[in-house]
Amino acid sequence: MSIDILTKSPEAAAEPPRGVPSKKRVPQGHRRLLTRRDRLTLGLMAGVPTILHVALVWVTALASIALAFTTWDGIGFDSIKWVGLQNFRELFDSNPQFWPAVQHNIIWFVVLILIPTPFGLLLAVQLDKNIRFSRVYQTAFFLPVVVSLAVTGFVWQLVYNPDTGLINSLIGANKPGHYIDWIGDPNLNLWAVLVAACWRHTGYMMILYLAGLKGVDPSLREASSLDGANEWQTFKNVIFPTLRPTNTVVLVVTIIEALRAFDLVFVFNKGAQGTELLSILVTNNIIGESSRIGYGSAIAVVLLVISLAVIIPYLISTFRKERSA
Amino acid sequence: MSTTLSLKQRTPVRPSRVLLHTFLVVTSLAWLAPLLWALFAALRPYAETSKKGYVSWPDKLSFANFTNAYQQSDMLHYFGNTLIIAVPAVLLTLFLSSCVAFYVSRFDFRINLFLLLVFTAGNLLPQQVIITPLYRMYLLIDLPGITASGKLYDSALGLVLIHVAFQSGFCAFVLANYMRSLPHELTEAALVDGASVWRLYWQIVLPLCKPAMAALGTLLSIWIYNDFFWAIVLISTGENMPITSALNNLSGQYFTDPNLVAAGALLTAIPTLIVYFALQRQFVSGLTLGANKG
């Protein structure tokens, strides 16, 4: 998993107000002074990483699109056959796992945005009050973010185990005949995994909001309290509106996390009944027995289209700010 | 931070503060509960828990499960695998992404914005979008004599490359922002004096980027150490797996009881916890780099 937090560049805050004629296109770094050798160095410095990144990320993303319209058993290039939209048709019409997976990805996002996100904000607001032991509390909430999702999966399996798990032991459901199979029951397992996902997401949201709150101008708060606003009014009318950039980051991060969700489910039950996810379906086409490359790619394309619908508007707004900086 | 700025006098014990601390203590403990539960299980012998049940007062706590898990599964070997992947991947990512960042932030080539866009967007894609062709590509690339498998597939090199390619998107963006905040006079003066571009990068810009590099380095170490997905798909031999994905195999093969699984999982988490506690500030600032400040 990786985390992507990107908003405005640091100097964006200090930028002159728009409308003021800015001195754009002042050559920085005196390009004319560059020797031939310098140009070669620069070319290599930008070229090598770009080739690596483009070849492994963008070429493969485009190849996914191309392969989605073919069937291929992976053995030799001549077995690649163009089939048009057949993979998609099959996916939408007859794959019993596809729509549940889409639904689960949506549930994943909705749950993450409704529960751990506001809770993370609540914790951040409390911890931002200059209280004692703040670091200790922060660490407690933040540890799940540091531990890998795979390990998180194992730890939560210990909690959910029907025989020996914490929950069943506490509620007395660990005796034969009374078992609650949190991970095996297709009506329960998605929610069981989501508890673990929320456990982790809260700490992450808390840190993002804490950083956002640190950036709020203290005089705003003082002015608000001088005006007689109570704590809740100050938060609602003064603090929260200034957190807009953080909220954008939080929204984008949460959507992408929901689309990427994989490790927890894979460790729990490999996305068997009840926990299907798009990411799991793609992976099963690779490491499962059946290697249906075109079909797997079609699922990847669905994932790609959804993510681009989020990434593109976000990048446009981010980079627009940047260019004006 | 600032609510107490106006109250200079010593704050008396207010009921609201007591309530707040109670809330935070209770939720913190609830948050730690799954990890503490794993620790509790790992510290008890299987014979005892199977007789008395898991929720019971322990007769004896010991590290036996930890040493068993460690020895039975040859964990050192898998930690070694992770090291071979993570160290070069972190260093290469930092080096290459700082090169790109230097290029786009210190010069005004027309391609800059586009280049940065390509890197940034690439990092936001879900990994599953690219995995199928990547997997095929790795199977096709023959590297006889270079990797043990003879291919890019099932090799540490393959994992290093994809980590570098994928993570450099994020790092390039953050470092470019950081470098842009350095005054232009610094490098311009040196350039006028005839310093080469490489010297500008290596001796002037890079040393100034130390805080950002440290933060990103910490973050990358933890991410790459924790990687599960790339390793599960791109490594087929259990022996070659890094520790996080190896645990998945081990739990079925060697670990027979839940207490041993708990010990194995916790052992796997220890290096990240050490890095986190040692470099907490860097880690947290890395996470929020670019989000709120430079």
pLDDT computed for residue B291 by the predictor: 53
pLDDT computed for residue A181 by the predictor: 87
What are A113-131's pLDDT values in tens digits?
Answer: 999 999 999 999 999 988 8
Across the interface, do B117 and A150 touch by the CB < 8 Å criterion?
no
| A324 pLDDT above the threshold of 70 | no
The nearest CA of chain A is from the CA of B227 a distance in Å of 7
pLDDT computed for residue B208 by the predictor: 94
Find the mean pLDDT for residues A141-152.
94
More confidently predicted of A35 and A49: A49
Q: Nearest Cα to B20, choosing from A123, A223, A70?
A: A123
Across the interface, do A151 and B265 touch by the CB < 8 Å criterion?
yes
| A183 pLDDT above the threshold of 90 | no
Q: What is the dihedral of CA A310, B120, B112, B175, to 10 degrees?
A: 140
A16 phi/psi in degrees, rounded to 5: -65, 150
As a whole-number percent, the residues of chain A with pLDDT over 90 amount to 54
What are B255-268's pLDDT values in tens digits?
Answer: 778 889 999 999 99
pLDDT computed for residue A29 by the predictor: 53
Q: Confidence band (pLDDT; 50, 70, 90) for A300?
A: very high
Contacts of A181-186 with C-beta under 8 Å, sequence gap 24+, read: A183/A157, A183/A268, A183/A269, A184/A269, A185/A274, A186/A273, A186/A274
Which residue blocks in chain A are alpha helix, DSSP H?
A: 36-53, 59-67, 86-94, 98-114, 116-127, 134-146, 149-160, 166-171, 189-214, 218-226, 231-234, 240-242, 244-260, 263-269, 278-287, 293-324
Across the interface, do B247 and A27 touch by the CB < 8 Å criterion?
no
- A6 Cβ under 8 Å from any chain B Cβ: yes
The mean-pLDDT minimum among A122-136, A188-202, B138-152 falls in B138-152
More confidently predicted of A11 and A160: A160
Across the interface, do A140 and B287 touch by the CB < 8 Å criterion?
no
pLDDT computed for residue B61 by the predictor: 86
Residues in Cβ contact with B136 at an 8 Å cutoff, skipping those fewer than 6 apart: A74, A293
Q: Confidence band (pLDDT; 50, 70, 90) for B283?
A: confident
Which residue blocks in A229-292 are alpha helix, DSSP H?
A: 231-234, 240-242, 244-260, 263-269, 278-287
Q: Confidence band (pLDDT; 50, 70, 90) for A7?
A: very low
- Contact in structure between A264 and A183 (CB atoms under 8 Å): no
Tokens of A215: 């950036």
pLDDT computed for residue A75 by the predictor: 78
Of the candidates B54, B162, B198, which has its C-beta nearest A164's C-beta?
B54
- B167 Cβ under 8 Å from any chain A Cβ: yes
| B2 pLDDT above the threshold of 70 | no
∠ Cα A129 B4 A227 (to 5°) = 105
User: Nearest residue of B to residue A160 by CA position?
Assistant: B34
The nearest CA of chain A is from the CA of B42 a distance in Å of 10
What are B41-52's pLDDT values in tens digits?
Answer: 999 988 888 788
ipTM value, please give it: 0.89
Q: Confidence band (pLDDT; 50, 70, 90) for B1?
A: very low
Of the candidates A53, A55, A286, which has its C-beta nearest B135's C-beta?
A286
Q: How far is CA A7 from CA A245, B4, B173, B179, in A?
A: 7, 30, 10, 15
Find the mean pLDDT for residues B151-176.
94
The mean-pLDDT minimum among A33-37, A66-70, A232-236, B123-127 falls in A33-37
Contacts of B116 in chain A (CB under 8 A): 319
Mutate to test the interface with A, among B17, B114, B124 (most CBs of A within 10 A): B124
Q: What mean pLDDT, rounded, does chain A reach?
A: 86
Contacts of A56 in chain B (CB under 8 A): 130, 134, 161-162, 165-166
Tell me the range of A19-28, A107-116, B100-109, B246-255 where mean pLDDT is highest: A107-116
